[in-house]
Amino acid sequence: MAASVPERPPHPSAARAGEPRPAEVNRFMKVDSRGTNESKKKNGDRAASDVLLLVRQLPRVAKGLTFALAVLVVGQAAGSALLPLATGRLVAALTDASKSMHGVTVGLVLLGVVLFLDVVLDPIRTMLAWRLGTALDGATAQTTVDGALRPAQIGHLDDADVADRIERARAVGLGAHPPGQAVTALAGLVPLRLTGLVSAVLLGWAGQWWMPVVLGSAWVVTGRWQEKEIGRSVSAHAGETAQLRRAAYLREVATTAPAAKEVRLFGLRSWLVERFTTAWWDGMVQMRRARVSPRRHTLAILLLLAAHLAVVLPLVHQATHGERSVEQLTVALQALLGLFALGFSGDLQWMLHTASAAVPAALAVGELETAGEAGRLGAAGLPQREIRFEKVGFAYPGGRGRVLDGLDLVLPAGSSLAIVGDNGAGKSTLTKLLAGLYLPDSGRITVDGQDLRAHDPEAWCRQLAVVFQDFVRYPFSVRDNVGFGRIEAEADDEALIEATRLGGFLSVETELPGGWDTLLSGAYTDGTELSGGQWQRLALSRALYAVRHGARVLVLDEPTAHLDVQAEHELYARFLDITAGLTTVLVSHRFATVRLADRIAVVQDGRIGEYGTHDELLAADGRYARMFRVQSQPFMEQGVREGSSRA
């Protein structure tokens, strides 16, 4: 069956909220590098270090833009710091008995410059921040995609820790706050903080030195309390990605086409809604716990009130007793108001921390490693002699135990081998190991006597043409769907036609409205949806296109599962053409398909239980013979009944 739903529910071994994972558990990630070890840090520190990490990425992403934005932010902060000075000067000139025109003009000009700077610079800053944020989003997404695809094997995708980080890197678990939003928040926060600092200096100058110390401390302390709340919320979000991932998966099932039929037919609607709601609120529960207590809130308000009174009362007293001029009082009062910028900045801070939390996850994903050293030998022309499994043992990461256990098997080059066995016996697993997508835990696979690990995994993949049981239905053109068999090859219409002819898709292609360029997806207005069997023929054509470009090992996992009787019959008729000169592995439950192979291997208890030709295995009267009889019995009985009724 083709892949149906894009997201898997969380792995049972996924970490519970807030539960740290020891670094050595994960063999796919450098957990401790570049400050990405999130588990050891306290929530507040973690939020701050996420932001620092994000800031460090900015020049790497776009040096010029970062510099321009930094200059603008500082310039704007300097401009806004002039505001109290300009107003102070203007008020002083206006209240001065001499009514000096010079003083009024200077005040007005200063005020005009400040306002002009603000009006002109603000939209430019917003635009630059947006562009830098978009660049960061693109770079983060690229790092995630690149990292997730880098390991030559696919075991990391079965790892709950890796899956959680990928999810976080995609920012799905964080209410879709992409890292670029953090840049916008930073571009707003930094001028605020700078304004706060300048205001502190002005208050010290126009008032007394201790005034900014008292008021600034009150703002910083209460702001820190709020920041800790944000840290807790963000880490609650991050820790709860397992639940949120489940919620996202359920939403996907409910809102997309692949599962729509079953959801309706089995009446899963209420179940889905209920499960989604539960998963969503489970994911959010930590958020609610992370709220600041009302007592803390009250304390913060009282502290700020007291600090303001402690500064304002002496200021007014000094002004009324002639110890402060009108200009000083005006500047001091405005600076006093500007000091709020050192405190909690609500949405901006929240946005900054939530949006920057995806960055360490993306960096960790970007550093995913191939399990073990990747081999360097080429693989062109292999195998010449044989592929051999020697005492191969394998268990999936996080799986329930050994799927293969001491398996020995020989695939002579240029011949075909069918693999049969019960559901879950390990047939598909065997093909994935052959393709190098997983490495054996014990034993080895050799190609012409050389360990497969010694070969460059990409070079080995070029030798393979595979149709997996869950082949992918790419929503692209027919040409692309076939061409993906060898993406780096020059456009080759002859190979395209030959591969689709052998794969049984050519007759379908000629009927399509746009021919080779028909977009294969019902989700687009100009797209066309294929039937299951047509998709399978296309998947086979893709593999045969790879063969036309040099692949020498053909792996077909249930290649006839979706085919109608005629198409299956035609495929059998072409089988020798298709497999000529190739080393072919055929996984199937259909004995009509299995019989096409030169040899047959029965997978049983993690090993090869029986091996031989169809006739040899029937003569041995073992498991294969029993399975064959079970499948052919109804037809034989039917034949006997028809024979006797004719007689």
Name the residue nearer to ligand ATP (CB basis): 122 or 158. 158
Give the whole-angstrom CA distance, residue 129 versus residue 186.
Answer: 8
Contacts of 446 (CB under 8 A, 6+ apart): 387, 388, 390, 452
User: In whole angstroms, how close is the CB of 419 to ligand ATP at the nearest point?
Assistant: 8
Name the residue nearer to ligand ATP (CB basis): 334 or 588. 588
Distances (CA, A) of 18 to 241, 350, 355, 362, 631: 10, 20, 19, 19, 52
User: In whole angstroms, how close is the CB of 445 to ligand ATP at the nearest point?
Assistant: 15
User: In whole angstroms, how close is the CB of 181 to ligand ATP at the nearest point?
Assistant: 34
Cα separation of the two ends of the chain: 43
Contacts with ligand ATP by CB under 6 A lie at 158, 396, 399, 403, 421, 423-429, 469
Name the residue nearer to ligand ATP (CB basis): 382 or 627. 627
* DSSP helix/strand/coil, 445: strand
Give the whole-angstrom CA distance, residue 336 versus residue 158.
Answer: 56
Question: Could you identify the residue written with the tokens 């040099």?
Answer: 550
Name the residue nearer to ligand ATP (CB basis): 311 or 425. 425
User: In whole angstroms, how close is the CB of 155 to ligand ATP at the nearest point?
Assistant: 8
Q: Would you report the helix, strand and coil content of the chain in percent, each value rounded to 5?
A: 60, 10, 30
User: In whole angstroms, how close is the CB of 1 to ligand ATP at the nearest point?
Assistant: 10
Name the residue nearer to ligand ATP (CB basis): 10 or 421. 421
Closest CA to 362 of 145, 186, 184, 173: 145
Name the residue nearer to ligand ATP (CB basis): 69 or 425. 425
Residue 17 near residue 484 (C-beta atoms within 8 A): no
User: In whole angstroms, how close is the CB of 507 to ligand ATP at the nearest point?
Assistant: 29
Name the residue nearer to ligand ATP (CB basis): 179 or 421. 421
Pairing mode, strands 583-587 and 553-557: parallel
Residue 379 near residue 463 (C-beta atoms within 8 A): yes
User: In whole angstroms, how close is the CB of 12 to ligand ATP at the nearest point?
Assistant: 11
The DSSP symbol for 485 reads G
User: In whole angstroms, how close is the CB of 617 to ligand ATP at the nearest point?
Assistant: 18
Angle, alpha carbons 81-86-88 (nearest 5°)? 105
Give the whole-angstrom CA distance, residue 554 versus residue 540.
Answer: 10
Closest CA to 13 of 155, 154, 163: 163
DSSP per-residue letters across 168-182: HHTTGGGTS--THHH
User: In whole angstroms, how close is the CB of 338 to ligand ATP at the nearest point?
Assistant: 58
Name the residue nearer to ligand ATP (CB basis): 427 or 537. 427
Name the residue nearer to ligand ATP (CB basis): 423 or 525. 423
